[in-house]
Amino acid sequence: MRYQNEQLQDRLAAEFVLGNLHGTARNRLLTLMRRYPGLRARVAHWEERLFPLVMRAPPVKAPARVWRAIQTRISPRAAPRWDVGRWFGRLATGGLAAAALAALLYIATAPLREPAFAMVAVLNDERAQPAILVSWTPAQAAKRQLALRILAHPSMPAGTSWQAWVVPAAGAAPVSLGLVTSDENQLLEIPAAAASALSGAVSIGVSVEPGGGSVSGRPGGPFIFQGPALRIDS
C-alpha cells in the first residue's frame, strides 16, 4: 500500500505537524496513524524536530479579520448583517450614490488577487541535520522578501558564495533566490521570477558558487543544504 512508502509518510507527517492538513485530509491521517506505526514515529520525529524552531520564531499578531472569522464561526448569530438596500439608501440620501456605484463596479470588475499563502522549509545538511530555516509570509511577499535563519553550518570557504534556489514543480530549472550570508537572521530581496516560482515550489536548496554568485544562472554543483517547501494556504 502506498501509505507504507517512507517518502510519502515523511511528507505527510511534516505537513501534519506544520498544520498544513485540514478537514478530511487531517482526519484521514489521524486514522492512518493508528494503522501504521512508522507514520506515528515520523510525526513524532517532525514534532521533535520543529518544536525548537517554533520556540525560536518571533510571535506574530493575528490580524483583526482572523478574530472576526473565528467569532463568526463560533457564534454565527452574532455576525453583523449587511443590509445592502438600507446602506445604499443612506448613501443616496447623502449624495454619495454615484461614488458608491462606481466603487461597486470597480470591485466587480477588478481582477482577483492570488490567495495569500505562507511557505516554510527546513534545509538539512548532508547529515540530515537542520541547517537553515526558510520562511515566506504574505507580509513578506508584498515586499518580495524571504526570511532565512541560519541554525548551524560549516564555515563558508574564502572566495565562494552560498546561493539559494527555489526548485519549481514539473522538473523546471531552479530559480535563484539570491546570495546567503553567514548572518544568523537575514532577509533576501528576491526577484519577481523567484517570487512567482515560490507559489509552486517543490523544495529550496543552497549551493556553493564563486564569489558573487553563479555565472551561468544555474546551480554550479549539488545543493549542500536542501529541504521540501511546505505551502500553507490562508
Q: Which of 5-9, 60-64, 164-168 has the lowest mean pLDDT?
A: 60-64
Q: Are 207 and 219 in contact (CB under 8 A)?
A: yes
Q: Does the structure show a pLDDT above 70 at 4?
A: yes
Domain parsing of the chain, residue ranges: 2-56, 64-109, 117-233
- Distance between CA atoms of 189 and 187, rounded to whole angstroms? 6
pLDDT tier at 179 (50, 70, 90 boundaries)? very high
State pLDDT tens for residues 18-76. Answer: 777 778 888 887 888 888 888 888 887 777 666 555 545 555 666 777 777 777 776 65
pLDDT tier at 84 (50, 70, 90 boundaries)? very low
Q: Is 4 helix (H, G, I), strand (E, B) or coil?
A: helix
State pLDDT tens for residues 152-165. Answer: 766 778 889 999 99
pLDDT tier at 183 (50, 70, 90 boundaries)? confident
Q: Is 92 helix (H, G, I), strand (E, B) or coil?
A: helix
Per-residue pLDDT averaged across 5-11, rounded?
80
Cα distances from 31 to residues 12, 48, 136, in angstroms, run: 13, 21, 31
Q: Does the structure show a pLDDT above 80 at 189?
A: yes
- Between 231 and 214, the more confident residue is 214
Q: Does the structure show a pLDDT above 70 at 115?
A: no
CB count in 10 Å sphere of residue 208: 17
Q: Write down the pTM of the prediction.
A: 0.54
pLDDT tier at 137 (50, 70, 90 boundaries)? confident
Strand order in the sheet with 145-150: 175-180, 160-168, 201-210, 225-233, 117-124, 130-136, 145-150, 185-189
